[in-house]
Amino acid sequence: MTPREELMNEPRRRFIQQGSAAAAGVAAAAAGLSTGAWAQGSDAPEKKEVRIGFIPLTDCASVVMASVLKFDEKYGIKIIPTKEASWAGVRDKLVNGELDMAHVLYGLVYGVHAGIGGPKKDMAVLMTLNRNGQALTLSKKLADKGAVDGASLARAMAADPRDYTFAQTFPTGTHAMWLYYWLATYGVNPMKDAKVITVPPPQMVANMRVGNMDGFCVGEPWNHRAIADGIGITAATTQDVWRDHPEKVLGTTGDFVKRNPNTARAVIMAVLEASRWIDAGLKNKNQMAETIADKAYVNTSVDVINQRILGRYQNGLGKTWDDPHHMKFFDDGAVNFPYLSDGMWFLTQHKRWGLLKEHPNYLQMAQQVNQVELYRQAAAQVKVSVPKEPMRSSKLIDGTVWDGKDPARYADGFKVRQTGA
C-alpha cells in the first residue's frame, strides 16, 4: 500500500472543511488578537494548564524540561507533558482537542492542514523544537552483505532483487521524507523499488529485531539503541541529507491560537528558555539526558541518549566520529525560528511523492500555518534574536538548493519521483 493509500484508507471523522480563505482568516485573526492584546498590556494566558503531547524521542526534551525546570511558571502557565504512543494518536488528539499542543513532526502538521494526513484541520506551527539528529538505520543482516550506506544499499538491492521493506514513522512526516529523499538520491524509488511501512518510533527496534524491515528512519535514541542491541547500523544521519534541517515543531491547531494567543506566546517563551538551557553546556545536556531517560518520558538507558546529543557517533561497524551538526535545540536561537521555507519544503516533497495531487499555494499555506509574528513577539520577550527574513537557503545531499523561491518547479524537478506527481 502506498503512503497516499494508507492515508486515504484511515478512518475519517467528520470535521468542518475549511478552505484556504478561512485559514487565512484564522491566521489574520490570531495575529490581530495577539498584537491587540500586547498593545493593551493584557497578556495574561487565557488557558493556564496546557497539555502538550510528546512521543518518546530525545527531541521531546525542550518541552519536558520546560515543565521539569518550571520555566512555564515564569509565564503564568503549567505545561503538562503527555506521553503518546504514535504520531497518528498525536494527530487525532490535536485535532479533537484532547491535546492543546504537541511535540510533533513538521510534515504531519502540514499534512493535516492540507487534508492529506487525516481529517482536514487548520493547523499552526509555533516554533521549531530542534534541528538534525535523526538517522537512517539498516539491519545488521544487510550490513553483513555489504550494504552500509546509500550507494552500497542501492547496489545490494540491484544485485539481489526481492521485496525490501523500510519503515518510517508517519506518511507525511519528517522521517518519511528523509527516508525517501535519501533512497532517491541513490536511484532507489521508494514508491516502486521498496515496500514502505509505518511504525511508531519506540517500536522500531523491536520490529527490526524480528525481521520486519530492512531499514528505518527514526529519531534518537532508537538508532543508537539498534546499534547497542547489535541489530542495526547507522548508514547515514539526517544532517547528511540536509545540514541543519528542521525536525520537530511545537504544533497546535489554528483554532487554539485564535482563542489563546497569549497562552501560545507564553508556551513559546517557556520552551525557548528550556531550549537555551539545554544547549548551554555539557552539564545541562547530561542532566537533560538523565531526566528524559526516565520511564515517564523516553524509557531507555541514559547512555543510549547522551552520546549523540553531544555529537559523538558510531555506526555500529567500528567507525566513530564527532559530528558538529548533531541535534541542537537552540544554537543561539538559530534553531527555533519557524521559517516559511522550511514548511514549504515538506509540501514540495508531499507533491513529489504523490501525496498531494496538485500544487498548493505553497507560500500562502506556510503563511497560514507558521506563526511567525507570534514567535517574533515571544522571542523578543526572552531576548532571543530572530532572522530578518522568513526564508532560508540550503543545499541538500543530492546537490539541489532549496530556497523557497520556486517551489512548484523544485517539486517537479526531481528525476526520481512518483509518476504523475
311, pLDDT greater than 50: yes
On the CB side of 201, CA atoms within 13 Å amount to 35
Question: What mean pLDDT, rounded, does the chain reach?
Answer: 91
Residue 19, pLDDT score: 34
Residue 29, pLDDT score: 36
Dump pLDDT digits (tens) for 341-361. 999 999 999 999 999 999 999
Residue 239, pLDDT score: 98
Residue 15, pLDDT score: 31
Share of residues in the chain with pLDDT > 90 (%):
88
Separation between Cα atoms, residue 389 and residue 158, nearest integer Å: 44
Share of residues in the chain with pLDDT > 70 (%):
90
pLDDT band for position 340 (50/70/90)? very high
Residue 119, pLDDT score: 85
pLDDT band for position 10 (50/70/90)? very low
Q: Considering only CA atoms, which of 311, 58, 87 is closest in space to residue 199?
A: 87
Which residue is listed with cell 497578556? 43
Q: How far is CA 96 from CA 22, 101, 351, in A?
A: 19, 11, 27
Residue 254, pLDDT score: 98
9, pLDDT greater than 90: no
3-class secondary structure for the chain?
Answer: CCHHHHHHCCCCCCCCCCCHHHHHHHHHHHHHHHHHHHHHCCCCCCCCEEEEEECCCHHHHHHHHHHHCCCHHHHCCEEEEEECCCHHHHHHHHHHCCCCEEEEEHHHHHHHHHCCCCCCCCEEEEEECCECCEEEEEEHHHHHCCCCCHHHHHHHHHHCCCCCEEEECCCCCHHHHHHHHHHHHCCCCCCCCCEEEECCHHHHHHHHHCCCCCEEEEECCHHHHHHHCCCEEEEEEHHHHECCCECEEEEEEHHHHHHCHHHHHHHHHHHHHHHHHHCCCHHHHHHHHHHHCCCCCCCCCHHHHHCHHHCEEECCCCCEEECCCCCECCCCCCCCCCCHHHHHHHHHHHHHCCCCCCCCCHHHHHHHHECHHHHHHHHHHCCCCCCCCCCCCEEECCCCEECCCCHHHHHHCCCCCCCCC
For range 182-191, the mean pLDDT: 97
Separation between Cα atoms, residue 152 and residue 186, nearest integer Å: 9
Per the DSSP assignment, residues forming a β-bridge with 234 are 137
Least trusted range by pLDDT, from 10-19, 111-120, 207-216, 222-231: 10-19
Per the DSSP assignment, residues forming a β-bridge with 123 are 253
Q: 134-244 is classed in which CATH architecture?
A: 3-Layer(aba) Sandwich (3.40)
DSSP strand pairing (195-198 vs 165-168): parallel
Please check whether the two domains, 3-132+246-314+323-405 and 134-244, share a CATH topology: yes
Residue 138, pLDDT score: 98
Separation between Cα atoms, residue 124 and residue 366, nearest integer Å: 9
Residue 117, pLDDT score: 76
Dump pLDDT digits (tens) for 23-55. 333 333 333 333 334 434 578 999 999 999 999
Residue 399, pLDDT score: 97
For range 357-366, the mean pLDDT: 97
17, pLDDT greater than 60: no
Task: Show the cell assigned to 94.
Answer: 490535536
Given the candidates 3.40.50.300, 3.40.190.10, 3.40.50.150, 3.10.310.10, the CATH classification of the domain at 3-132+246-314+323-405 is: 3.40.190.10
For range 303-308, the mean pLDDT: 94
More confident of the two residues 303 and 9: 303
Dump pLDDT digits (tens) for 44-90. 999 999 999 999 999 999 999 999 999 999 999 999 999 999 999 99
Residue 4, pLDDT score: 52
Please state the domain extents for the chain. Answer: 3-132+246-314+323-405, 134-244
133, pLDDT greater than 60: yes
pLDDT band for position 196 (50/70/90)? very high
